[in-house]
Amino acid sequence: MADNINVEVKSVSRVEGHGDLVLNVKDKKVEKLIFRIPESPRFFEAMLVGKNWDKPSHITSRICGICSVAHTYASVKATEKALGIVPNDMILKLRKLIFHHEIVQSNVLHVYFLAAPDFLGGGSVIPLVETHPEVVNIALRLKKMANDMVRIIGGRAVHPIRTVVGGFTKLPTEEEMYQMREMLNASYADLETSLAVLKTLDLPAFERETEYISLSDSVDYAHYDGNIKSTDGWEIDPMDYLDKINEKVVEHSTAKHCWAGRDSYMVGALSRFNNNHDNLSDKAKEYAAELGLKAPCYNTFMNNIAQFVEVVHSVDDSLKLIEELLQEGMDDSRAMVEVRPQSGRGVGAVEAPRGLLIHDYTYDDEGRIEKANLIIPTNMNYGNIERDMNALVPDIIDKSEDEIRLACEMMIRAYDPCISCSTHFLDVKLVNK
Amino acid sequence: MGKPKVGVFGFTGCGGCQLEILNLEEYLLDLVGAVDLVHFTEAITEHSDDYEIALVEGSVTTEHGVERIKKIGSIANIVVAIGSCAVNGGLNCMKNLYGLDKAKELVYGDKKDWIDSIEVKPVDAYINVDYYARGCPPNRFEIVDIIRSLIVGRKPEIPNYPVCIECKRNGNTCVYELGKTCLGPITRAGCNSRCPNSVEGCDGCRGPVDDPNVNAQKDLMEEYGLSIDDMMAEFNLYNACKGKTIEQK
């Protein structure tokens, strides 16, 4: 191959939002490697100022179509914390249940529609319809199951309606609870076939150890709630996130980058797995073992596998939650707890499908937002994506330009970046082209 | 029209409209079979500048976006705006209300000059739009209906009556009775009154009907002790770019 390479991929495809990849190699040395974000900023932090407490969850849900449930709950939890609202056990269980299915929907979309074409061949899911129809059908069925769960509990698959500060505006009926149980039980056959398909995939054997950060809980495989935990040995209450998590504008980069103990860290399914694998369901643990996913795992490409293992866990845990809710009974009078506006600051942290998501609101006496700060998982991953690619490219420098380009794109896609979530990406023109 | 070449394009928004297309699930393969999908960045790698129908999601909020939307307008024979952000500017327009410069400074501080961000406008501020799939998110079956209509050469039927009609048909208790605010009386139906079905007020995400009965909405608000300010706070969530037309009526 040539000693010099100039790769520029405009709009890396099969990621959510817009991102460009720029790679310059001179005399077989990486001179420049940038994942550039031209996605336009949207100023959500400005939109939130002055809004009444009942609006932020609906507004911030619109940050991202794929993780609208996660944004809704980061927002709801921040507001509830600030206003001193404590939801009851039934509300919490129902929230965890709907939360699982955004994770399932998003993980399935990524593993099958966005990442799998790299491993099964074909530029996208459309050729797979011809070559691997069974895989496409499994994906569509699992995705529909998860979306139907969100539709039943939230009133809509994208931007849920019923999940609000204080609880739910409407509860699923008992009949719907049984219907959901049936849908979940029916999904096991597809999970089993998926296991067989995923076992055949040949993932790159790339490894680079980094800091893995996620929520963590003593009992749950934390998605909806928990402390913020790092594989570097620290754990903090989300209210104190500013003590550990830093955001900065990086001159060469298009986005604000985050760092904690080291110069970059990773969030998402692999981080959750590395921190919380003990709390996975038995079946999820078994599937992880069969797929060679073992903590601590330092192979970024295994993020795809961790996403699938999470789907298995979410189905198992959903059935458990449904049994508990059915046993304890679901009473409309407990659907909402009382909300009284007051001043204060609240931080809501959740695990969006792509990783740790933080909303931080300060309210005035009348329950209107004075200040808002949002920290988005994909922002947290940018520094790590660039460092991973910088480690990957020298290893494959003797391959063709096309192969190098594909490997970099696959690396970016393994993170499942969600660029629309960008609340504050900066658009910087490249000097060296 | 035979098998039309279709491109799906994203501008400033959340990607939720494109996701609603992917969420068609059991209908997705039929849709993909009925058209020649040549561009859909969120889902496929293939991309082309040769298309007849452009489905456009998101608002135009940057100088770069203005160039892109004009190019799409020059290529496509038919442009369909999908979702509130593309149709009327949507939630993004709250940035305009806040003030562009102030918003830049609040979020980016002394780096604000690095930002390419202009006044938010809907797609039809720059190019001709033939059809609108309204809502946040849009009703995915309405998108299918528009595409199906274009293939068979029929004009898509988009309701021009208020959400209240669907809401009554669904037998809901009026959410005003429950102490909530609702823009159903002036908002265009087509969503099957999905928010009132879930015991929430309509936020007006599909925008007003062509000739909204604003006085009836005002009377209703008054009857339940709510002010014009309360109404505008709701209206401006999704319609801030069009807010003046309503206030003047």
Nearest chain A residue to B137 by CA: give it: A158
Judge whether A39 lies within some domain: no
Closest CA to A427 of B1, B130, B12, B72: B12
Range of the domain at A415: 44-421
Give the pLDDT of residue A123: 63
φ/ψ (deg, to 5) at A258: -115, 150
Least confident of A65-74, A103-112, B29-38, B61-70: B29-38
Judge whether A109 lies within some domain: yes
**How many other CB atoms sit within 10 Å of the CB of residue A154?**
25
| Phi-psi region at A122: left, alpha or beta (left = phi > 0; alpha = psi -120 to 50) | left
Per-residue pLDDT reduced to its tens digit, B120-178 = 999 999 999 999 999 999 999 999 999 999 988 888 889 999 999 999 999 999 999 99
Give the pLDDT of residue A39: 59
Tally: H helices and E strands in chain B: 12, 5
Give the pLDDT of residue A56: 96
List the pLDDT tens digit at each of the 249 positions of chain B: 578 999 999 898 888 998 898 888 878 778 888 888 888 766 666 677 889 999 999 999 988 899 999 999 999 999 999 999 999 999 999 888 888 888 877 777 777 776 678 899 999 999 999 999 999 999 999 999 999 999 888 888 899 999 999 999 999 999 999 989 999 999 999 999 999 999 999 999 999 999 888 888 888 888 898 888 888 888 889 988 876 544 444
| Residue matched to tokens 């961000």 | B117
Give the pLDDT of residue B44: 64
Residues of A whose CB is below 8 A from B16: 62, 64-66, 68, 158-159
- Note whether B25 contacts A143, CB cutoff 8 Å: yes
Per-residue pLDDT reduced to its tens digit, A268-326 = 999 999 999 999 999 999 999 999 999 999 999 999 999 999 999 999 999 999 999 99
Q: State how far the Cα of A30 lies from the Cα of A393, in Å rounded to an integer.
A: 8
- Note whether B45 contacts A117, CB cutoff 8 Å: yes
Whichever domain contains A220, its CATH number is: 1.10.645.10
Judge whether A20 lies within some domain: no
Give the pLDDT of residue B90: 93
Q: Please say whether the beta carbons of B132 and B156 come within 8 A.
A: no
Average model confidence (pLDDT) for chain A? Answer: 87
Judge whether A10 lies within some domain: no
Model pTM?
0.92
Nearest Cβ partner for A129 among B29, B107, B116: B29
Nearest-CA distance from A150 to chain B in Å? 12
Helices A133-154 and A174-186: crossing angle, nearest 10°? Answer: 160
- Note whether A155 contacts B62, CB cutoff 8 Å: no
- Note whether B44 contacts A126, CB cutoff 8 Å: yes
Nearest chain A residue to B94 by CA: give it: A47
ipTM (interface predicted TM) = 0.92
- Note whether A17 contacts B10, CB cutoff 8 Å: yes
Instruction: Output the six-digit token pair for B173.
Output: 């208790």
Nearest-CA distance from A105 to chain B in Å? 10
Domain count of the fold of chain A? 1
- Note whether B91 contacts A424, CB cutoff 8 Å: no
Nearest chain A residue to B201 by CA: give it: A161
- Note whether A159 contacts B10, CB cutoff 8 Å: no
Among B11, B14, B102, which would you mutate to test the A interface (most chain A Cβ atoms within 10 Å of its Cβ)? B14
pLDDT band at A430 (very low <50, low <70, confident <90, very high): very low
- What is the number of CB-based contacts under 8 A between chain A and chain B? 169
Nearest chain B residue to A147 by CA: give it: B23
Beta bridge partners of A355: A352
Judge whether A165 lies within some domain: yes
- Note whether A140 contacts B104, CB cutoff 8 Å: no
Which amino acid is present at B222? E
Judge whether A289 lies within some domain: yes
**How many other CB atoms sit within 10 Å of the CB of residue A150?**
25
- Note whether B117 contacts A59, CB cutoff 8 Å: no
- Note whether B16 contacts A158, CB cutoff 8 Å: yes
By the 10 Å C-beta count (0-12 exposed, 13-18 middle, 19+ buried), B152 is classed as: exposed
Instruction: Output the six-digit token pair for B147.
Output: 């595409």
pLDDT band at A9 (very low <50, low <70, confident <90, very high): low
Q: Going along A59-199, which residue ranges are E strands?
A: 163-164, 167-168
Rounded to 5°, the CA angle A56-A58-A59 comes to 60
Judge whether A426 lies within some domain: no
Rank A241-250, A382-391, B34-43, B107-116 by mean pLDDT and report only the highest. Answer: A382-391
Nearest Cβ partner for B44 among A62, A63, A125: A125
Nearest-CA distance from A75 to chain B in Å? 16
Nearest-CA distance from B236 to chain A in Å? 11
Among A110, A158, A338, A427, which would you mutate to test the B interface (most chain B Cβ atoms within 10 Å of its Cβ)? A158
Say which residue, A198 or B100, is predicted with more confidence: A198
Give the pLDDT of residue A428: 23
| A112-138 average pLDDT score | 79
Residues of A whose CB is below 8 A from B194: 155-156, 161
Nearest chain A residue to B20 by CA: give it: A158
Judge whether A9 lies within some domain: no
Domains and CATH numbers, chain B: 5-152 (3.40.50.700), 163-248 (no CATH)
| A392-408 average pLDDT score | 85
